[in-house]
């Protein structure tokens, strides 16, 4: 019992350490990110003033880096909530130290992704026309609906399991730090005192959300894929686009989670809680999804390549031999085969190995979105010479700013909120059967709580 109390005390101190101690490195990092964002804001002001002519997008290739990055961010948003929800639903005991990070990646990635849709608009002042003039028959409206639903559910899913931890911070840090932070904890804790009825309500809410959020998350990337698949373009004529995009989203989501987990573990000294086991388990999931992605690629290209309908030959040539060959083969070999091998071969199955695999996979998934969007639009619809697309400094700056914003939000979050779920990790210290936690909504058993 004493050991449990001691471990719990150490856990609380570790969770609160990022909030109580700020080094110059933190401010240097934040300044660096803000500088990139400021440069991106300037580039966007140029785009607003001059119009989309300052980008590389033209009438024939009308989507570029912005939509690529939008799809990428929506993809990595699956890191979180979907992975966290699946692990919760399957009662994976090892999940507890990583779920909070995963859930936060979701919210931040969705926010950043949605921002790129607005950036892609030549007239952002007309963005609300999608709502005021939208039709239910349009995949754009499906996309808007599913993304807003997912964002709402993800914010709640991030906030709910944090309630007991925010109550802990509210009580422990009341006398320290600025008032606004205490106010955030007080509001976020929604009056949590850890009594039995509150635990029942919290258990019920988490139980409902972890179930409902899985189909919502699947719907999001399915609908994003339909934006392409329902457009009359030869390379996008695919019936497996939905499943393919969802698998790709989970794949890139796991990769991003591993990378961020590695950085936060290193920066905030979470080695006791995030161990090699977590990296290897997530690495195995990564390898499994790399196999699914390879299967999807082969299934897609063998069938379309065998028939080789009009337009397909052009697409195959540019993808496998010409303009996009470098991108494609990096994606397939460097981004799918290699990460799988790194994780599966025992000699490379370490924290460093899994992180390298994750970096390769995440980069490859951005590249995949690039050639899906740009190569897809490059296939001529009529007998004209194919167009080319080259991103301009404006696009590159704005995309860099988007990634900097993503990093900044995670950095700031980790300075305000508990980055590991204290009460869930602490539950693991107890000898109790974890099934009690999951089954709590079905039986009058206390769930969660900070006790």
Site residues for another protein per CB under 8 A: 12, 135-137, 142, 145, 149, 152-153, 156, 160, 163-165, 167-168, 170-172, 189-198, 200-202, 204-205, 208-209, 212, 216, 422-423, 449-451
Buried b / exposed e along 256-282 (16+ C-beta atoms within 10 A): bbbbbbbbbbebbebeebbeeebbbbb
CB-side neighbour CA atoms (13 Å) of 217: 33
Please identify which residue in the block is written with the tokens 């989507």: 63
Sign of CA dihedral 226, 228, 233, 235: negative
Handedness of CA 81, 83, 89, 93 (dihedral sign): negative
Nearest Cα neighbor of 392 from 48, 55, 40 is 55
Alpha-carbon distance 319 to 309, whole Å? 16
DSSP annotation of 174: T
Q: What sign does the dihedral 76-77-82-84 (CA atoms) show?
A: positive
Interatomic CA distance for residues 216 and 214, integer angstroms: 5
List the one residue out of 192, 88, 105 whose CA is nearest residue 154. Answer: 105
Residue identified by tokens 């599966």 is: 344
End-to-end, the C-alpha distance of the chain in Å comes to: 13
Q: Kind and range of the H or E element at 394? A: helix 393-416
CA-based nearest residue to 262, from 275, 251, 249: 275
Q: What are 244's two structure tokens?
A: 């393919």
- Determine the length of the chain: 451
**In 3D, which of 261, 208, 214 has the Cα closest to residue 97?**
261
Phi, psi at residue 241, to the nearest 5°? Answer: -55, -40
The answer to whether the beta carbons of residues 218 and 246 sit under 8 Å apart is: yes
């Amino acid at each position: 019992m004493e050991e449990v109390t001691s471990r719990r005390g150490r856990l609380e101190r570790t969770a609160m350490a990022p909030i109580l101690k700020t080094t110059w490195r933190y401010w240097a990092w934040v300044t660096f990110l803000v500088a990139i964002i400021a440069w991106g804001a300037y580039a966007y002001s140029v785009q607003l003033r001059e119009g989309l002519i300052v980008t590389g997008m033209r009438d024939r290739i009308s989507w570029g880096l912005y939509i690529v990055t939008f799809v990428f961010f929506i993809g990595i948003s699956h890191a979180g909530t979907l992975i966290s929800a699946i692990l919760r639903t399957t009662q994976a005991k090892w999940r507890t130290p990583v779920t909070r990070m995963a859930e936060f990646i979701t919210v931040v990635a969705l926010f950043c992704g949605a921002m790129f849709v607005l950036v892609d608009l030549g007239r952002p002042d007309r963005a609300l026309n999608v709502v005021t003039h939208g039709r239910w028959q349009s995949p754009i409206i499906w996309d808007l609906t599913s993304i807003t639903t997912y964002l709402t559910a993800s914010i709640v899913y991030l906030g709910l399991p944090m309630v007991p931890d925010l109550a802990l911070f509210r009580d422990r840090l009341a006398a320290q730090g600025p008032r606004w932070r205490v106010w955030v904890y007080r509001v976020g804790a929604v009056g949590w005192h850890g009594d039995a009825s509150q635990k029942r309500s919290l258990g019920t809410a988490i139980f409902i959300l972890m179930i409902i959020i899985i189909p919502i998350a699947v719907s999001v990337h399915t609908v994003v894929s339909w934006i392409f698949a329902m457009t009359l373009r030869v390379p996008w004529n695919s019936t497996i686009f939905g499943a393919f995009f969802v698998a790709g989203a989970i794949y890139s989501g796991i990769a991003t989670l591993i990378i961020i987990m590695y950085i936060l573990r290193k920066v905030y000294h979470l080695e006791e809680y995030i161990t090699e086991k977590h990296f290897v388990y997530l690495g195995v999931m990564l390898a499994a999804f790399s196999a699914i992605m390879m299967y999807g690629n082969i299934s897609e290209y063998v069938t379309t390549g065998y028939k080789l309908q009009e337009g397909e030959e052009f697409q195959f040539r540019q993808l496998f031999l010409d303009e996009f060959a470098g991108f494609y083969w990096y994606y397939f070999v460097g981004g799918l085969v290699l990460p799988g091998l790194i994780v599966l071969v025992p000699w490379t199955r370490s924290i460093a190995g899994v992180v390298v695999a994750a970096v390769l996979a995440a980069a490859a998934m951005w590249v995949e979105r690039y050639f899906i969007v740009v190569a897809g639009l490059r296939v001529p619809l009529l007998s004209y010479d194919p167009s080319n697309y080259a991103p301009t400094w404006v696009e590159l700056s704005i995309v860099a700013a988007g990634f900097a914003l993503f990093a900044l939000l995670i950095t700031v979050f980790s300075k305000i909120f508990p980055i590991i779920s204290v009460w869930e990790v602490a539950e693991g210290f107890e000898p109790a059967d974890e099934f009690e936690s999951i089954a709590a909504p079905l039986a009058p058993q206390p769930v969660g709580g900070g006790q």
